[in-house]
Structure 1
Amino acid sequence: MTVPVVLAALSLVLALLPLGQGIANLVLYRRPTAAPPLDTAVSILIPARNEESGIAAAVEAALLSRGVEVEVVVLDDHSTDRTAGIVRSIAARDPRVRLESAPPLPPGWSGKQHACQVLAGLARHSVLLFQDADVRLSPAAARLTSGALLSGRSGMVSGFPREETGTLAEALVIPLIHLLLLGYLPMAAMRRSTDPRFGAACGQLIAVRREAYDEAGGHAAIATSLHDGVTLPRAFRRAGQGTDLFDATGLARCRMYRGWREVWSGFSKNATEGMATPAALPVWTLLLFGGHVLPWLLLGWAALDPLPLAAVVLACLAAAAGLIFRLLLAVRFRQSIVGALLHPVGVLIMLAIQWSALLRARRGKPSEWRGRTYQAGPGPGAP
């Protein structure tokens, strides 16, 4: 076989892998339906640092929760804007809301993990629901999330909200979260095992049983981490606690980043705790570039210089497999169709972010987020 045929055959294998895994996972990755016990009470815990533009909407949405008793605890993490005042005014008219102030950040802690650890200590109920300040819960979210947690044996469950996008940069990159999750995580194996390598969560929306949280060491077990979506479920699994995932598309929404600068900075800050490690990133580059970009390059090559028919056919099938999967995810999770059609561009941007983060970490350059500086590098539980 010629080189183009070999490359096209490889690209087809690498494109079919996430498509097949993704279809299987879509059967397992569902919106929760189980109801919690009638006396269930949930502590909704929101760390907030300079969130004046959206904190009122986050708190008000949480207060609309139905079917469970809730308290909403907001930890003001040394904000320099009106965050505390806004929450204080809501608490003055609704006793279910509490505003607390974060103590000074101890050395060696990241801001969010410290805030969440403090919030866990302030919570009054046995179900702890951690949400980011840019998440908007639906009225059914607390009930169905606690139902998913309490109806199973897992110590932690996590849902991926509907990720809203407003710019092309967001539409290209943010939906890749679902592609990576559903295309490459074997959920059936995840549910059968407590192996930390299968640990995955969305840091925007995590619910835990208090006793399981304490047994796993809480956020103190990942004190230095900037990527609780990877490191916290691994901590639970190391403690023998199961973790699970559910589709929160209809239960919560979030616009995690706004514009190109935030997309690059946001995905860069914690990249070295996930994909961007010296061992993992070459493998991810082979999987993503080979399965989602190479087919299109081969088709471009064929347009300029005739290739063997077998290479063209294989490259067409590979390109179609990748595009079909991305469009399937776009429809299922209400994502941008334009972003899906430009799928290879989004993959290239994601890989550029990961390689940039790895090179930055190798040079010892720190990450910056929310006005704080953190030394780049693999976090707890990273491979």
Structure 2
Amino acid sequence: MPPALPAGGGSPLPAVSSGSGTAFAIGWASLLLAALPLGMALLNLSTLRPPPRAEPGGRRPRLSVLIPARDEENNIGDAVRCVLNSSDVELELLVLDDGSTDRTPDILASIEDDRLRVLRGGPLPRGWSGKQHACSVLGERARHPLLVFVDADVRLEPDALSRLAAFMERHPAVALASGFPHQVTRSWSERLLLPLIHLLLMGYRPAILDRDGLDPAFAAGCGQLFVARRGAYRAVGGHAAIRRSLHDGLTLPRAFRKRGFRTALFDATPMARVRMYEGAAPLWEGLTKNATEGMATPRALPVWTVLLGGGHVLPFLLCVLAPSAPARAALAMNLGLRMLLAGRFRQSLRGAVLHPFGVAGLLGVQWAALWRARRGRPSTWRGRRYSAA
């Protein structure tokens, strides 16, 4: 028999089972979890801006550019040349060769420029991570009022340093500022996982609550590119304040804020680029290395699993297994948000289309890092081992 029609005609009304009703309710929950980051990102994108361009004909700012380098033969030459090609600034460039066993020292020795000083790193002191010790030595030897810490795989545009100086001049209360360079991604693992940095930053960090730049709970940054005022940096204790950390992107801004110094974020997409990891194995090693100083803690990771899994992975699963209007709307929000971020930050559109798989992979990395830390297994980076503690 055909299904009964409602009074007055119209379309048939399918019966709704208790199972489909549960799926419908779960779909609504996923919709709410998907709407949260979309709404927050729309607000945050209006506040995150690139540093302004310097006024022509103004005073040339003085900056010390500081690069820690350990086994960077594939990067250091280009990184140094990009810095030395900077325009409209007075700079010194200090590179610390941190016990490299490849051609890094030879490449540095072949570059002739009076603005470049190469330092030789000694044995790593007990209780320090390699990068923080290298940056600490560089910070102590820097002479100019603004300190720019740059990773060796970052490529600065010629106007990047002048724009950093203009940002600090426009925001005199800011002691430390940081920006995420454009992330160059070439493998599928990179396209899936690395753009999620901006998803977390834009979708889950309420910038409106961070206007004073002083609350350590909202501190954020990118260890690939920092600019600091030398006086504030030394008052904080420099990188010695975070000597054990493997995740200076979070811990350095927190250290500044705990001492009462303001920090800020800017969009570094148009002025710097970086290929952070080349392929799946370095990506896995790099993300698990610093995960336990971010999301992968016993208290935080269950919450993040609900937020990310429920808001970004669950809608896709529901659309496949138990389709409903809320689930489809949630999935549309996910893809719309990723497309929005991909356009703004020049990210891979192919990675954005596969967004649910990327989020699932990110959660897998975090849980693996937590499991490894709970078992006391050390992290490794650049040939060094760091205890799980």
TM-score by length of 1: 0.94
| 4+ residue runs over 2 A deviation | 34-37
Name the counterpart of 2:349: 337
Structure 2 segments unaligned to the other structure (5+ residues)? 1-17
- The whole-number CA distance in structure 1 between the counterparts of 2:238 and 2:65 is 16
- Counterpart residue type for residue 355 of structure 1: W
Of 117, 125, 129, which aligns to 2:148? 129
Q: Summarize the alignment of residues 1-383 of structure 1 with structure 2, pairs less than 5 Å apart.
A: 2-33=21-52, 35=54, 38-90=59-111, 93-152=112-171, 153-302=173-322, 312-377=324-389
- The whole-number CA distance in structure 2 between the counterparts of 1:241 and 1:368 is 32
User: SS of 2:46's equivalent?
Assistant: helix
Q: Output one character per residue of 1:212-263: Cα deviation in whole Å (capped at 9) or x when no partner.
A: 1112221001000000000000000001111111111110000000111011
Q: How many residues align?
A: 367
- Counterpart residue type for residue 110 of structure 2: S
Displacement of 1:191:
2.4
Displacement of 1:54:
1.2
Q: Which moved more, 1:210-219 or 1:227-236?
A: 210-219
Is the contact made by 2:342 and 2:349 (CA closer than 8 Å) also made in structure 1? yes
User: SS of 1:43's equivalent?
Assistant: strand
- The whole-number CA distance in structure 1 between the counterparts of 2:264 and 2:193 is 24
Pairwise CA RMSD: 1.2
Displacement of 1:190:
1.8
Displacement of 1:362:
0.4
Q: Output one character per residue of 1:162-185: Cα deviation in whole Å (capped at 9) or x when no partner.
A: 000010010000000010011111
Q: Output one character per residue of 1:261-288: Cα deviation in whole Å (capped at 9) or x when no partner.
A: 0111110000000000001000100000
Displacement of 1:35:
3.1
- The whole-number CA distance in structure 1 between the counterparts of 2:213 and 2:249 is 18
Displacement of 1:39:
4.0
Identity %: 54
Name the counterpart of 1:381: none
Q: Output one character per residue of 1:170-211: Cα deviation in whole Å (capped at 9) or x when no partner.
A: 000000001001111111222224110111000000000011
Q: Which has the higher Rg, Structure 1 or Structure 2? A: 2
Q: Which moved more, 1:34-43 or 1:271-280?
A: 34-43
- The whole-number CA distance in structure 2 between the counterparts of 1:194 and 1:43 is 25
Q: Output one character per residue of 1:319-366: Cα deviation in whole Å (capped at 9) or x when no partner.
A: 011110011111111111110000000001100000000010000000
TM-score by length of 2: 0.93
- The whole-number CA distance in structure 2 between the counterparts of 1:253 and 1:39 is 24
Is the contact made by 2:213 and 2:264 (CA closer than 8 Å) also made in structure 1? no
- The whole-number CA distance in structure 2 between the counterparts of 1:67 and 1:97 is 17
